[in-house]
Structure 1
Amino acid sequence: MGRTGTTIRRVAGASAVALAAAAFGLASAQAASAQELTGDEVLMLDPVTVLATRTEEKVTDALAAVSAVRQDDLDKIMPTRPADVFKYVPGVSFSDRGDDPGSSINIRGLQDFGRVAVIVDGARQNFQRSGHGSNGQFYLDPEMLAEADVVRGPVANIYGSGAIGGVVSFRTKDTDDILRAGERWGVLANSMFASNNGRLLGSLFGAVRPSDTYDVTVGASYRTQSNYDNGLGVEVDNSGNDIASGLAKATFRPADGHEIKISGLTNRTDYDVGQTAASASAFDTKLQNDTASLRWRYSKPEDQLFDFDGSVYWTRTDMEQTKVGGSSGPITGDLGAKRSFKIDTSGFDLHNTTRFETVALRHALTYGVDYFKDEVETDDSTGASDMSTPSGERSVYGGFLQWKLNYSSWFELISAARYDGYELEGGGTSSEGDRISPKVTLGITPAPWFTVYGTYAEGYRAPAVTETLVAGAHPGYAAGIPSLFTFVPNPNLRPEVGKNKEIGINIRQDDIWRKGDALRAKVNVFRNDIDDYIDMYTYGDPVTWCPRAVPGCPPIPLVTINDYSLVQYRNTPKARIEGIEFEGRYDAGLWYLGVTAQWMEGRDVIEDEPLLSVPSDKFTTLFGLRLLDRKLTLQASWTAARYDDVPAGYTYTESYNLVDVYVGYQPTPDVLVHAAVNNLLDDYYLPYPVGQTDMILATAAPGITYKAGLKIRFGG
């Protein structure tokens, strides 16, 4: 336990020191300016989430590793892509490429092929395309967002097959995000300019509520950026893009307690993917992502039998590419060759909560069913993409029952079981399976400010279409060089089963040093053992090549261009990922301090090799001041990250430091003028490890970037 124990002490110690410094600083501030602080209200918010248990609860009360990002957080972050949204959330990382605006979420070292369920307005986002990057992306402009919630680990097994890493739920802007209480109409406009070769954003949202029985919201945004420079001042090819998004929502309340919402979201992204190295192909890419959903909710405080939430949804992601760079070859074709990748996901999610009491016990039974179907369609004029991202269909279905028991204010028990099943077919191959996954959580609150809990939860992920059916040759480095290797399908893949053990602590205390201050903290220690973990394996004889087509070649010695000739997705008997997460914030009204930290280690238990997907250890602290009667906010943050155990054959940035600063002035509640500097130190770093054979495709993160924005709201 040498490294584990040392890191635990390091993370816990750093977090404790930071919060202790906050307490000491507050005491000093009180002594120096007690009169100034008297009567201040703390602006700390206890956000409410339903993500962990499908029942409303405060984040700091939830017996799970849950985090929430709200509009005030988004205003300070000024995000340009979804990865920015979670920059202060532990356990959440992104494997994003600079030349692809798509995002791939990593939670606790698990990502790709649906290991993290991504939900936008209740609709799953399941797009995947094989290539030199992540195997699972979604496309979403953060300007459309109102809030985001994340639960880490398979504790949210009520959200269906696949989420052995966790669940991320995004909610886009709605009427209540634009109108204030009593208003019948409102408009929200936002604009932002950023440096680093030019970035622009403009958005406009409008909402009307003619009566309390219905309201309508519409909005659109446009974002554009040129190629950015990394921390060395080097321009990153094809990192520019144009993103146009729109949404429309209509909400009806036909009767007391009933709400019906119709939502539509669209995203059009134009960009070039691929670097300009002589041997690398580049593609002009046009991506269209559309989501539609219908949701019906019924909830009345006096109705203990029914608290119902049901939705049906449809999502389509359609990517069309034209080759515009690189050498010609049988795999990627000639310049002008076309290919497309499309996935349609349709499904429904129905659940209800029934509440009752027996003697001194409070019960909440939540039960439901869900289903989704992925239809993957790949078209390539060369025929190669049909093999690496094969067409096929997958149906996933399930149901769950959860019992939540509370006694007084100090005891809580959550017990749940979920049934999952799947069917997959394509290319003349089929696969199916099912399983029951249990979950149990026990929480004790010995004092009003302190809760400790333990959880055992299992999750189940069915193999993806690509993992099962992928086939075909990978192109050589350049024209005339043979294929580097060949993908081999595996119809015998078994589903993954995550078995997570977790201990958590929630701390919530008000009025510590003075009336109105507040402390919130969550600590989680976890170990997730994944049986039959699916990973890519290499085997077969080396691939050789004769560099000169002249007589005697061979027997002139051949050049080995790859150590293996075959690649296949296979089940690893067991993988283990364990770690610690800390998230804390102290708010004294005039100033606040936040600390987040994560440490993780993941290994193939049988081979004793590190897992590539495990992110860096990371420590982040932020400090903010509220001045001029809270109209002026100043904030600075520092993030230190370090990789400690990466598989051989990968290039990575061992450690890096990111410093961000923010200033926002809000002369009225409806006007915000703000600015930020990201990567103030102009640090150069690769955000995640890259295979050494892929370095021509690697994209470092942006260097120093200045941002300025104006946000205006009005209504009546």
Structure 2
Amino acid sequence: MANFRTINPDDLLLPGKPLAFMLDTTTGTNAYNHAVNAAVAWRISPDLSVMLGFGDKKIGDYKPGQSGLGDLTALGDTVHIGYNANYDISKMTAQDQSTALFKAVWRLNEATELKFSINGYKSEFDWSTAAEADQYYSRKSIDSRTYALDYTYKPGDPLIDFSAKLYLTTTDNNSYYPYRPATNYCPCTSATELSTLGGFARNTSEFSLGSTEITAHYGFEFLKDTTSGKSTEDTGRDNDQRWFNQESPDADRLLASAFVDLSIRPNQWLDIRPGLRYDYFSLKGSGERLYFPDGPMGIYMPYWGDFNVDRSESRLSPSLNIAVEPKEGLQFYGKYVEGFRPPQIQEAMFSGLHIGATSNLIGLWRFFPNTEIMPETSETYELGANASFDSLIRDGDTLRLKASVFHSRVENYMTIAYVALPNQIPNLMTVGGAFVNTLDPATFKGAELEAAYDTGRFYAGLSYTYLDSDLNTSNIDPYIYGGAVPPSGGSTFTGEVFSLAIPPRHKASLDLGGRFFDDRLTLGTRVHYASASKHGGNESQASSAFVPSHTTIDLYGAWKITDLATASLSITNVTDKAHGDPLATGLVLSPGRTATVSLNMRF
């Protein structure tokens, strides 16, 4: 499990110094223009410190790898939009990003700390869904701000290790659509807004019952999402509001959870960890969708009408983890975890039209809410072993080994698919898009292996992942609105998933390196391998179009100029291998050979 956090004043401040600065700059080839991060921290008093940081990153449309490009471009129109005839530029990959961070940390006493932070992020980029990217592009701007208040209380009592957090995140997604001469609509703009209010309170208590040591971690957490959307410019077209508003309907989604996790150690070699989690979910909101009343000749004539949602659900999810340590440095474990994922607002209420689409019966690119879509529930089993050895071959060396196998089963897996719209005319099968549950469970099973050896001078790391994903998306109910007559001739309309992503079955990486000149110079190389995989897109594409297997090589180095300054160099995709991202909704070619140089300084 990864744990990411933003920097704190103490990460910058040096002992005995009230003021500190940090500067991190990067530039490179292949449209990597620059990335600059700067921060200043000030220790106002022994108990109060503040910091302010800024970041700016600008990358252009990069050039994809050219070696083996024919294996990818042979897929034809499944290749990501925006490439020119020679595939030597990837349009719509440029981004301008800026960040800002403020933090204030106040130590009220030896046991109590209060932290306030403001984190801002803005990204601007071009985007398109059409093969002629220049004709149908839009300009996107995403602006996010997070305000957070953290509280910790650690009085030195084994029963109290308390932390709490309250935060508010607001995200504005603004789009500009220039005039489309081919279809005579726009220019127009739209805006969607998402605000998330959340928080948690957690405590850890340690105590003993006889010779049994017990650690209890318990608490609660919540978050509330509120969305809204609007068209900010009316072009006089009847469908304008439906092109924009329903992407983010007016809705509130509440998630609240309470949990307790125990660690029970009756002796030094056995650790039993039962857990229980209660999740509550509610969704309230309204929107507009197409309805299909009876019409002449058995045809359902569409009209726009309101819909409302007011639903809630809850679930208890147990977990159990048992670890056995027969000797120091060797551990075997088994884990069972149940999970619960309720639908997001868009998965239950997404509705409206593609920009430029019409609402008549034959018109395509209509999207419909599925307000009764069910939450996903999951069961995961995992078995594994961890081993660590010190001074195995020579004094001071270390060897770390990890191995695990797992099997996950997800009921009511949610995906977006074509669904049949009501009508009574055989073979007049009109369709729209909606999120649905698969009728059969999705399964994920695999294994992970990891080994790391370090002599102090030289090091090596090897990891391998096997993942067999069966999403079972071929079995869905496409008649969620009823009233449709299946095609004649014995055939049936089974629907088709059109946002499919299948990860590679095999992935491996190798990291080799060494440290020289009293550990001031580090040089290394990384090799990454991924097997062939189905790329994102609709199901018929994914059954015939693959991202071929590929191997990429990276080189890296770092020179510690002083204790407060480090220069770095990296070259990714040294062989300029053409490869794609299998988890994208289209075949996105990844960057080709790219070199970057960085300088990090503190003073």
Aligned to 1:311: 165
- Following TM superposition, by how much is the alpha carbon of 1:363 offset from its aligned partner in structure 2, in angstroms? 0.7
Aligned to 1:613: 501
Structure 1 distance, partners of 2:108, 2:383, is 44
* 1:394 and 2:291 matched: no
- Following TM superposition, by how much is the alpha carbon of 1:481 offset from its aligned partner in structure 2, in angstroms? 13
Aligned to 2:529: 640
- Following TM superposition, by how much is the alpha carbon of 1:475 offset from its aligned partner in structure 2, in angstroms? 5.6
* 1:197 and 2:48 matched: no
- CA offsets 1:626-645 (integer angstroms, 9 cap, x no match): 11111111010010101356
SS of structure 2 residue aligned to 1:516: coil
- Following TM superposition, by how much is the alpha carbon of 1:305 offset from its aligned partner in structure 2, in angstroms? 1.8
Query: Which residue identity is paired with 1:613?
Result: A
* 1:251 and 2:105 matched: yes
Aligned to 1:357: 208
Highest CA radius of gyration, 1 or 2?
2
SS of structure 2 residue aligned to 1:395: strand
Q: Which runs of 5+ in 2 are unaligned?
A: 67-86, 235-239, 287-307, 477-496
2:573 to 667, 679, 685: 679
Aligned to 2:449: 582
Aligned to 1:262: 116
- CA offsets 1:369-395 (integer angstroms, 9 cap, x no match): 111100011113522132344331101
- Contact 1:276/1:326 (CA < 8 Å) preserved in 2? no
SS of structure 2 residue aligned to 1:316: strand
- Contact 2:142/2:172 (CA < 8 Å) preserved in 1? yes
Aligned to 2:53: 219
Q: What RMSD in Å do the two structures reach over aligned CA positions? A: 2.7
- CA offsets 1:47-85 (integer angstroms, 9 cap, x no match): xxxxxxxxxxxxxxxxxxx3xxxxxxxxxxxxxxxxxxx
- Following TM superposition, by how much is the alpha carbon of 1:281 offset from its aligned partner in structure 2, in angstroms? 2.4
- Contact 2:229/2:247 (CA < 8 Å) preserved in 1? no
Structure 2 distance, partners of 1:193, 1:227, is 15
* 1:344 and 2:195 matched: yes
Query: Which residue identity is paired with 1:297?
Result: T
Structure 2 distance, partners of 1:564, 1:389, is 25
- Following TM superposition, by how much is the alpha carbon of 1:328 offset from its aligned partner in structure 2, in angstroms? 5.9
Task: Indicate how the Cα distance of structure 1 residues 539 and 450 shifts in structure 2: closer, same or farther if over 3 A, else same.
Answer: same
Aligned to 2:599: 710
Structure 2 distance, partners of 1:473, 1:542, is 17
- CA offsets 1:555-592 (integer angstroms, 9 cap, x no match): xxxxx9x9861222222241111111223311111111
Task: Indicate how the Cα distance of structure 1 residues 174 and 425 shifts in structure 2: closer, same or farther if over 3 A, else same.
Answer: same
- CA offsets 1:452-476 (integer angstroms, 9 cap, x no match): 1111111111111111112233467
- Contact 2:533/2:582 (CA < 8 Å) preserved in 1? no
Query: Which residue identity is paired with 1:377?
Result: S
- CA offsets 1:309-348 (integer angstroms, 9 cap, x no match): 100001111111101375565xxx8342101121000011
Aligned to 1:422: 281
Aligned to 1:231: 65
SS of structure 2 residue aligned to 1:171: coil
- CA offsets 1:168-194 (integer angstroms, 9 cap, x no match): x42011122212344332111111111
- Following TM superposition, by how much is the alpha carbon of 1:521 offset from its aligned partner in structure 2, in angstroms? 2.8
- Contact 1:278/1:326 (CA < 8 Å) preserved in 2? no
User: Higher mean Cα deviation, 316-325 or 257-266?
Assistant: 316-325
Task: Indicate how the Cα distance of structure 1 residues 267 and 606 shifts in structure 2: closer, same or farther if over 3 A, else same.
Answer: closer
Aligned length: 521
- Following TM superposition, by how much is the alpha carbon of 1:239 offset from its aligned partner in structure 2, in angstroms? 1.7
- Contact 1:600/1:614 (CA < 8 Å) preserved in 2? no
* 1:654 and 2:561 matched: no
Q: Which has the higher contact order (CA 8 A, sep 6+)?
A: 1
Structure with the higher fraction of residues in helix conformation: 1
- Contact 2:533/2:546 (CA < 8 Å) preserved in 1? no
- Contact 2:524/2:556 (CA < 8 Å) preserved in 1? yes
SS of structure 2 residue aligned to 1:536: strand
Task: Indicate how the Cα distance of structure 1 residues 406 and 492 shifts in structure 2: closer, same or farther if over 3 A, else same.
Answer: same
- CA offsets 1:447-502 (integer angstroms, 9 cap, x no match): 11111111111111111111111223346799x99743432221111111111111
Aligned to 1:598: 465
- TM score, norm. by length of structure 1: 0.69
Structure 1 distance, partners of 2:194, 2:419, is 31
Structure 2 distance, partners of 1:274, 1:261, is 41
Query: Which residue identity is paired with 1:423?
Result: S
Task: Indicate how the Cα distance of structure 1 residues 518 and 320 shifts in structure 2: closer, same or farther if over 3 A, else same.
Answer: same
2:136 to 261, 281, 293: 281
SS of structure 2 residue aligned to 1:468: helix
- Following TM superposition, by how much is the alpha carbon of 1:368 offset from its aligned partner in structure 2, in angstroms? 0.7
Task: Indicate how the Cα distance of structure 1 residues 411 and 438 shifts in structure 2: closer, same or farther if over 3 A, else same.
Answer: same
- Following TM superposition, by how much is the alpha carbon of 1:541 offset from its aligned partner in structure 2, in angstroms? 7.7
Give % identity.
Answer: 23
- Contact 1:216/1:249 (CA < 8 Å) preserved in 2? yes
User: Higher mean Cα deviation, 507-516 or 411-420?
Assistant: 507-516
Query: Which residue identity is paired with 2:470?
Result: R
- CA offsets 1:132-164 (integer angstroms, 9 cap, x no match): xxxxxxxxxxxxxxxxx2xxxxxxxxxxxxxxx
- Following TM superposition, by how much is the alpha carbon of 1:608 offset from its aligned partner in structure 2, in angstroms? 7.6
* 1:369 and 2:220 matched: yes
Task: Indicate how the Cα distance of structure 1 residues 599 and 563 shifts in structure 2: closer, same or farther if over 3 A, else same.
Answer: farther
1:626 to 492, 509, 515: 515
* 1:188 and 2:22 matched: yes
- Contact 2:185/2:356 (CA < 8 Å) preserved in 1? no
User: Higher mean Cα deviation, 520-529 or 627-636?
Assistant: 520-529
Structure 1 distance, partners of 2:382, 2:430, is 39
- Following TM superposition, by how much is the alpha carbon of 1:367 offset from its aligned partner in structure 2, in angstroms? 1.3
Structure 1 distance, partners of 2:146, 2:335, is 34
- Contact 2:284/2:310 (CA < 8 Å) preserved in 1? yes
Query: Which residue identity is paired with 2:579?
Result: Y
SS of structure 2 residue aligned to 1:353: strand
- Following TM superposition, by how much is the alpha carbon of 1:254 offset from its aligned partner in structure 2, in angstroms? 0.8
Task: Indicate how the Cα distance of structure 1 residues 200 and 369 shifts in structure 2: closer, same or farther if over 3 A, else same.
Answer: same
